[in-house]
Amino acid sequence: MTTPITLDPGHVTLAQLRRIHAGGVQLTLDPSAQAGMQAALATVQRIVEEDQVVYGINTGFGKLASTKIAHERLAELQRNLVLSHSVGTGEALPDGVVRLVLATKAVSLARGHSGIRPAIVDALLALANANVLPVIPAKGSVGASGDLAPLAHLACVLIGEGQATVDGKVVSGREALAAVGLQPFVLGPKEGLALLNGTQVSTALALAGLFGAEDVFCAALVAGALSLEAIKGSVKPFDARIHAARGQAGQIAVAAAVRALLDGSQIDPSHPHCGRVQDPYSIRCIPQVMGACLDNLQHAARVLRTEANAASDNPLVFTDTNEVISGGNFHAEPVAFAADIIALAVAEIGAISERRLSLLLDPGLSGLPAFLIRDSGVNSGFMIAQVTAAALAAENQCLAHPSSVTSLPTSANQEDHVSMATYGARRLLDMVRNAAVMVGIEAMSAAQGMEFDRSLKSSPLVEEQFAAIRRRVAFLEQDRYLAPDIEAMRAWVQGEAAWPAPLTACLPSHQ
């Protein structure tokens, strides 16, 4: 069962992009895009026919931009450009990221500023729809002039070179095209450059990081609610008046989401005189910390949605004046900044989750058995699971260092400042996985803590999530091999869980 999605260049939504990343989609281009593409193509053809000298159409590239190329060698120029730039290294990008690259490259080219044949856009969508995915090495881009090396590997498939996967098997580019009923393209003027220039790989990686961060964010709110109930914490710090007095939008939204999660709990009203004056910050300041993370994710989402719809190759064709203008939309600084603030959010979501986990294991703070095991001493319980969480929290803190402040010049100093957006976005995948493990361990541990007193029920929404955890992980009566439980909880965070509506209402890709 596939979901049909019509791509309207300039207006593709985050919800559509998230669905493309997940797979099982059939993509079509809005017919209104055809006129703009044809007009831009006609402009490029006119320049070639009139033998005007225009960068990217009949000149060399980068430092060689002043070298004019003879008309009879223009096809050779574009082919050589693609082949010479296919220098990526490392593991192949994940399938979901490649689908996003294909879709966003098609959207960018269909904006009508690239001057390429519509048939090339159709080919990109045909590959995505058939799940015939170019093999794109993950490393080798500095994020300006666009994602040259990884996009060259995509373009290689269109000319019958490189590699792609068909039904999970790696085949040649020529075989991949045949699988969708196409012959290799002979690229025309500017077409190779338009395919290689652009921020689509950085943007796709950052979107994948954003969507993963959304799942981790929801799971962390659930885990925080479970932890609060397990220690019989106070809901007073979530009072709407506190957060309205500060006025931070994310904080207000998170406090409301947690109140909705806990609505109807029997546990909170059961201990009004327990003597607990204040909970530790990791519980009491969930709205403040997670709200700031949400604000970061919201801002990054706005930037990435814009970039996913952008014409980011170079030069750009403006058909109203018949001009082709060289600029720098390929510079991925907006994506680099967005990736950096997503990284900050993911690191903090994991960090505060690990602190709640530590709280749960400490009987002096939680009031629960040491390390959440009845026969402690003989049993270590969740002691070393917290060590794993601490190790991953430290790793994420290192990975959260901003990549956008790093720049090394390339192309004989013609490209003298670069964004490093591709690495900045790529590291988000590792960070999200680390955070998913941390939050999963917390949720598993909080469910364990709740089971020491089940005389009262939590709210319906929290009980739903508790039951979902128990379907994956059993109560820890005595020490057992915990690695499979941790993996099961990571999978719960990363896509298996159905998050309650009050949580998804906060998410950029659900709005």
> Which burial class, exposed, middle or buried, applies to 455 when counting CB atoms under 10 A from its CB (0-12, 13-18, 19+)?
exposed
> Which burial class, exposed, middle or buried, applies to 159 when counting CB atoms under 10 A from its CB (0-12, 13-18, 19+)?
buried
Instruction: Provide the sign of the torsion angle of the four alpha carbons 453, 459, 465, 470, taken in this order.
Output: positive
* Cross-strand pairs, 323: 318
Phi, psi for residue 376 in degrees, rounded to 5: -70, 155
Q: How far apart are CA 320 and CA 36, in angstroms?
A: 10
**Burial code of 45-55, b = ≥16 C-beta within 10 A, e = fewer?**
eebbeeeeebb
Residue 55 catalytic?
Answer: yes
End-to-end distance of the chain based on CA atoms, in angstroms? 24
Q: How far apart are CA 308 and CA 287, in angstroms?
A: 30
Q: How far apart are CA 445 and CA 366, in angstroms?
A: 12
3-state secondary structure of 9: coil
Angle at which helix 383-399 crosses helix 333-361, to 10 degrees, equals 160
Task: Report, in angstroms and rounded to the nearest whole number, the Rg of the chain calculated over CA atoms.
Answer: 26
Phi, psi for residue 92 in degrees, rounded to 5: -70, 145
Residue 151 Cα distances to 62, 218, 477, 482, 487, angstroms: 16, 33, 52, 41, 33
**Burial code of 358-386, b = ≥16 C-beta within 10 A, e = fewer?**
bbbbbeeebebbbbbbeeeeebebbeebb
Instruction: Provide the sign of the torsion angle of the four alpha carbons 56, 60, 62, 65, taken in this order.
Output: negative
Q: How far apart are CA 243 and CA 201, in angstroms?
A: 38
**Burial code of 471-497, b = ≥16 C-beta within 10 A, e = fewer?**
ebbeebeeeeebeebbebbbebbbeeb
**359 contacts 282 by C-beta, under 8 angstroms:** yes
Longest CA span, the chain? 87
Choose, from 55, 281, 423, 481, the residue flagged as catalytic.
55
Amino acid at 333: E
Angle at which helix 421-450 crosses helix 483-491, to 10 degrees, equals 110
Residues with catalytic roles = 55
